[in-house]
Amino acid sequence: MTVRTRFAPSPTGYLHLGGLRTALYTYLYARKSGGNFILRIEDTDQEREIPGAVDKIYESMKQAGLSYDEGPDVGGDYGPYIQSQRKSMYLPYAKQLVETGHAYYCFCTKEKLDADREKAEKEGRAYKYEKDCMHLSKEEIEEKLAAGIPYVIRQNIPTEGKAGFDDVLYGRVEVDCSTLDDNVLIKADGLPTYNFANVIDDHTMGITHVMRGTEYLSSAPKYNLLYEAFGWQPPMYVHLPPVMREDYRRDKMTKEIIPDENGNPELIVRKLSKRYGDPSFEDLLDAGYLKDAVINFIALLGWSPRGEREFFSLKELEEIFDLEGISKAPSLFDMKKLAWFNAEYVKKLSPEEYMPIAEKWLRKAIDTEKFDVKRICELLQPRTEVFSQLPEMVDFLAEMPEFESDLYTHKKMKTNPEVALDALVKIKPVLEAIEDWSEAALHDAVMNAVAEFGMKNGQMLWPLRIAISGKANTPGGAFEIAYLLGKDETLKRLNSSIERLKA
């Protein structure tokens, strides 16, 4: 049997990280098994469709490196791969179920259904459609169809017995049929519901393994009833646990933090969700995370490789991924851990790989034509967690920031504004005398002067760095910064800082 897996997103927005993980696991299993990976667009809910979202899905899959063997934009033998383009095929299957008694026409109006739901709510019971239209005679049905009365086609769920399915992670899952509702298969607009279309599509596309979130666990028994009604072999199910994130309890509408009874923010664990501001895959790439780092990190959200190793290329993941490593427990998405992961990937870049990525971000803060970008990148690479941090790390090169004199105070360096003023006044003529404005020349001249002055290194180097950068944290120390600024700008900033200290 050739393994055939599918990723079937809805075009309702960006690829969120939970969806990315499902796509990744589905892709990896197909590649590990030597099978086929299919992309299918499920757009039956056209009211929620966002213009341009389909193209965004193609782009996201390309950016993630998840190449698919069949799909809307690459073709294949089982197309079309967009559900709305398969519209004509669903109704005949639904009518086949009607003929065998596994489905029926329903002509109930929205007003009636709303009234029934309201009644059930008042009586304190869960609403279920009561099969009102299932008992219509063949003549009554034909008369209503001929009159053009709007209808849907509902699945005829047995009122007794059990429905169930087998899952790789959860084993045998069964529910009482009496708890299941007769869900709609074909809507009034002629389009299938998700519940029906995915069954027809999975079967007709030869899908052997279905990976999706645990939110579909409750629907899977209904899917299997459909497979049984058609006499088809259901696919192997792998329901993936959710990706969670720590957050403060927030109002669902305003997203504002809701305090507990003591007025303190209440920390909770919730499902990862775009509506709460959690990043999408595109958001992370736009923020300067490396694609390979994100993919590696996402792969470990709910799956454990054999051994202690954490870092894998996509190709390596294709070779080692297995279903046995997937956990049933929810995984926790941690932005700090992702940033650390990204930093490790940044460190592994060659200077030639790092520089063009960094330069794009540096241009947001400085004119790269005026500075030694190669040297800036050498200083930044070991300190880079996420590329979007770079503009703030180098903005002082373009313009000296305002800062308080308290910044000169450093206990470990044994310096304060008074010590700083003395050090800066002493070092000024030394710097003015330097002709070869290189890091090596700056180092030798300043360090020799420090020895002559009988000062501690920190008592000179800390004030000098503050005086010419205005920041406590910089990529590189006083010598590197002075070199990057150049002699004229360094002395200009030094003079200005001395005057402020004297004032």
How many domains does the structure of the chain reveal? Answer: 4
Radius of gyration of the chain (CA): 32
Do residues 369 and 456 share a domain?
no
**Same domain flag for 331 and 436:** no
Q: Is 94 in the same domain as 234?
A: yes
Q: Where residue 259 sits, what CATH number does that domain have?
A: 1.10.1160.10
Q: Is there a domain that residue 422 lies in? A: yes
List active site positions.
274
User: How many other CB atoms sit within 10 Å of the CB of residue 58?
Assistant: 16
> Residue-wise pLDDT tens for the chain (503 aa)?
899 999 999 998 778 899 999 999 999 999 999 999 999 999 877 777 788 889 999 999 999 999 999 999 999 999 999 998 999 999 999 999 999 999 999 999 999 999 999 999 998 998 999 999 999 999 999 999 999 999 999 999 999 999 999 999 999 999 999 999 999 999 998 889 988 999 999 999 999 999 999 999 999 999 999 999 999 999 999 999 999 887 767 777 777 777 777 777 777 778 887 777 788 999 999 999 999 999 999 999 999 998 889 999 999 999 999 999 999 999 999 999 999 999 999 999 999 999 999 999 999 999 999 999 999 999 999 999 999 999 999 999 999 999 999 999 999 999 999 999 999 999 999 999 999 999 999 999 999 999 999 999 999 999 999 999 999 999 999 999 999 999 999 999 999 999 999 98
Q: Are residues 255 and 216 in the same domain?
A: no
DSSP 267-305: EEEEE--GGGT--BHHHHHHTT--HHHHHHHHHTSSB--
Position 19 in a domain? no
Same domain, 280 and 418: no
Does residue 5 belong to any structural domain of this protein?
no
Q: What is the CATH number of the domain that holds 156?
A: 3.40.50.620
Verify that 431 and 389 share a domain, yes or no: no
| Boundary of a domain, candidates 398, 416, 433 | 398
Write down how long the chain is. 503
Backbone phi and psi for residue 6, each to the nearest 5 degrees, phi listed first: -140, 150
With b meaning 16 or more CB within 10 Å and e meaning fewer, what string describes 208-220?
Answer: bbbbbbeebbeeb
- Inside any domain, residue 56: no
Calpha distance 479→491 (Å, rounded): 13
Q: Examine the domain organization and report whether 355 and 341 are in the same domain.
A: no
Q: Are residues 109 and 204 in the same domain?
A: yes
In this structure, is residue 491 part of a structural domain? Answer: yes
Instruction: State whether 90 and 208 are in the same domain.
Output: yes
Domain stops at, among 194, 222, 240: 240
User: Is residue 39 assigned to a domain?
Assistant: no
- Choose one of 310, 330, 345: the last residue of a domain: 345
Cβ–Cβ under 8 Å, residues 233 and 258: no
pLDDT at 326: 96
Q: Are residues 273 and 158 in the same domain?
A: no
Q: Both 89 and 216 in a single domain?
A: yes
Q: Is residue 197 part of a domain?
A: yes
What does DSSP say about strands 103-106 and 152-155: parallel, antiparallel, or unpaired? antiparallel
Q: Is 141 a member of any domain?
A: yes
Question: What does residue 18 show for φ and ψ, rounded to 5 degrees?
Answer: -65, -40
The model carries a pTM of 0.89
- Its domain, for residue 383, covers 349-398
In whole angstroms, give the CA distance from residue 103 to residue 337: 50
Q: What is the pLDDT of residue 425?
A: 97
CATH number at residue 441: 1.10.10.350
Do residue 100 and residue 234 come from a single domain? yes
pLDDT tens digits for range 316-345: 999 999 999 999 999 999 999 999 999 999
Write down the pLDDT at residue 273.
78
pLDDT of residue 337: 95
